[in-house]
Amino acid sequence: MIELPTISPYLFTIGNVGPTWYGLMYVVGFLLGYWFAKRQARHMPDWTQDQVSDLLTYAILGVILGGRIGYVLFYQFERFLDNPLYLFKITEGGMSFHGGLLGVMVATFLFTYKHKKSWLSVTDFVAPVFPIGLFFGRIGNFINLELWGKPTSVPWGMVFPTADAQPRHPTQLYEAGLEGLLLFIILVAYSKMKPALGKLSGAFLCGYGVFRFFVEFFREPDTHIGYLAFDWFTQGQLLTLPMIAIGLYLLLKPTRPNLPNTTPSNINPSSANRK
């Protein structure tokens, strides 16, 4: 059993305000994701460094706006109905991965419209970058001592002082390892195989969905929502099901093979059908 100390959410304060560890993790995730994306673009002739920088701006807005709106709509909808201004109370925290993902999808769509690119080619480009932000986001949850797991007797169980005196699964670290580190390794390795258009996006959706669905079995459900069904099915698992379904569709969707040129090289194509 490991007993964790209470850590201030702030790196430092000036008066009652200051930068937070959680915010720092987002900054680190964005910067490393930006570095990796620019490194990735060097090997892709259809991507420029300026386009990567532009894409990062769209992605940041998508993550922040989508993450906040998604959290309010998916997890605090009744509170939003009571007070719509709660949407703007960012000092009280609250970000949703699924909302952030939807925000990035909208952002990438706008980016593709501006730069005349295929939407799936852009989501394929972003797919290996996403787990970097997920990893640091979950580390931020761990530092904040939030989103802890269920009580457990495993040797690595941790006592979260913001919860109670029971050792619990450190599900933030489970998610950082699976949805962040492992998924990143899988997607980078898969990208080196030059998969067909949309396959890398499908692998991300399916991989994240399966990992998140699994970790939810060990994670304490939101107290104001609880279990949706069967005394184990959570809101997080419900939101992953469309991801898994779309991911499987993209992965299993047959790709059109490139047909070889069957016209003999010694025949003039313009006269091949003349009689």
State both tokens at 222: 């939101």
In this structure, the dihedral spanned by the alpha carbons of residues 97, 62, 126 and 20, taken in order and rounded to 10 degrees, is -60
How many whole angstroms separate alpha carbon 214 and alpha carbon 18?
A: 35
User: Which residues define the annotated binding site?
Assistant: 138
Q: Would you give the end-to-end CA distance of the chain in angstroms?
A: 86
Could you identify the residue written with the tokens 């997890």?
75
Neighbours of 6 (CB within 10 A): 9
Instruction: Please check whether residue 2 is in contact with residue 159, taking contact to mean a CB–CB distance below 8 angstroms.
Output: yes
Say how many CA atoms lie within 13 Å of 251 toward its Cβ: 15
Residue 167 per-residue DSSP state: E
* Cα angle for residues 220, 221, 223 (degrees, 5° grid): 110
